[in-house]
Chains A and B, each alone.
Chain A
Amino acid sequence: MSVTTLQRTPLYQEHIALGGKMVEFAGWEMPVQYRSGVLKEHAANRRGCSIFDCSHMGEFILEGDPVTSGLDRIVTQSVVDMPVKSCRYGMILNAEGGTIDDLIVYRLAPEKWMIVVNASNIEKDRRHFQANLLPAARLKDVSAETAKLDLQGPLSRDILSRLVPEVARLEYYTFDEFELLGERVIISRTGYTGELGYEIYYPWDKAVRVWGALLADQRVAPTGLGVRDVLRLEMCYPLYGHELTESISPLEAGLKTFVSMPKEFVGKAALVRLEQSGLLRKIVHFVSESRRAPRQGHQLYSTDGQLVGEVVSGTFSPALNAGIGIGFVKKEFTSIGKNIIFGDEKNRTGAGMVPRPFYKHGSLKS
């Protein structure tokens, strides 16, 4: 594998020093795991505190009124009623109702916003915003100057409070600006693991200091993209390219909560048509009867052997001590409590469909 053309975050050398196993992800050279391995990293996150380098992700700053800028028409969630210093999760859609990306909107001021997007989608998101924003809006892509560190786990508040005491007052899905090692930065109480946690947006060229200061606390473990995928899957959080794509609508992905149907937005007409004609497929979450894990690309079968769908994400879940998976099936096969079979030509394994999330004991809102 050639890695010469991949982009690197400001923490690349830190990952190498910690024994990070570097892999390509969305055009970036990122740590998939560190020396201790994915299972120990999982335990660190669920029981202690872990830190992820998410500097590859994209950040846009948008200035403008939510309506006259066009922002409210681009994002599936309503943003006009967002309190300042709150975050809101939503999607941006194409005209067919497919998902261009999922993202988090931060309301920095009544007419100033930060939009956090997936690394793989930065370019196309920027184009979509530019094409749909109105002349009153000013959009700036600050991804290249913004590092993002995610401190996640039940001990994260205690640990981050030692550097930033005021962070303890942040409620779930809110943020503020704080002084951290001499810089005034945004810290939000958000995350992608199901545990209490914070996302720290920090100047790119100074991110090494914060990484070092947080890891100086012996309770903090560095964690890679491998366990990040396991943790988000245990929570049934969608990962773009799996549960959400340009041809999957948020309705099919079970994310209607994050779509404000009363307002107008790009893709709404297609969603209305989908609702009227009935969804053709639906998302299912299932637990393997063994430690064998479902994998992306596996087929899904009914217990009488009929092909009913396919797996889009799967892994071994340390929390459940079993394989877990997410897939799409024909609508008639999706009631909770039903059994389903996953596998390929060689192997088929039974599983039980369950309500989401798989992991229900997180410290997320503690």
Chain B
Amino acid sequence: MEIIEHYLYTKEHEWLDLDGEIGTVGITEYAQSALGDITFVELPEIEKEVEQFELLTSLESVKAANDIFSPISGKITEVNDELTADPGIINRDCYEKGWIAKIKISDDEETSNLLTADEYSNYLESLDRNGDGDSSDE
């Protein structure tokens, strides 16, 4: 399962790519694989304030709607408009072209609540061991 070394992660399978005070958010390979073909992405409103681990937006696969939580608190500065017409970008390239939103971070100490790539990798292994794999798709 592909994981990007310098990103941070949540246990809900979102990633955060930090660049100064701006964080880019998306979902992980594990999440896109479990969801299957993504058919709709609700883009968050620009300027909206979001809280760490609170609802950021939702996306839908053929089967179901799924909530996406924000890995960090802050204000939405940009959203990926490409996803409106082609949500499958997330399936094809979840870590780069499939980004969902950019957030101006309000408290960078919150990053300590996130998982490093190694920690997230270990977390995924623990899910597999517990047989919880793909539970989001069932």
Residues of A within 8 A of B (CB): 1, 21, 23-24, 32-33, 37-39, 226-227, 230, 290-293, 295, 315-316, 323, 347
Contact = CB atoms under 8 A, between A and B. Distances in A.
A38 B62 contact: yes
B135 A291 contact: no
Contacts of A227: 62
Interface in B111-138: 134-135, 137-138
A21 B87 CA distance: 22
A295 B62 contact: no
Contacts of B40: 290-293, 316, 323
B138 A315 contact: no
A351 to B, nearest CB: 14
Interface string B50-76: 000000001010111100000000000
B63 A226 contact: yes
A291 B87 contact: yes
Given A1-B135, A21-B137, A38 B36 contact: yes
Given A1-B138, A21-B134, A291-B87, A38 B64 contact: no
Nearest to A227: B62
Given A37-B36, A39-B39, A292-B42, 8 more contacts: A32-B63, A39-B88, A226-B62, A227-B62, A290-B40, A291-B84, A292-B60, A293-B40
Interface of B: 36-37, 39-40, 42, 58, 60, 62-65, 84, 87-88, 91, 134-135, 137-138
B65 A33 contact: no
Given A23-B138, A291-B87, A230 B39 contact: no
Contacts of A21: 36, 134, 137
A295 B66 CA distance: 12
11 contacts: A1-B138, A37-B91, A38-B36, A38-B62, A39-B62, A226-B36, A293-B60, A293-B65, A295-B64, A315-B63, A323-B40
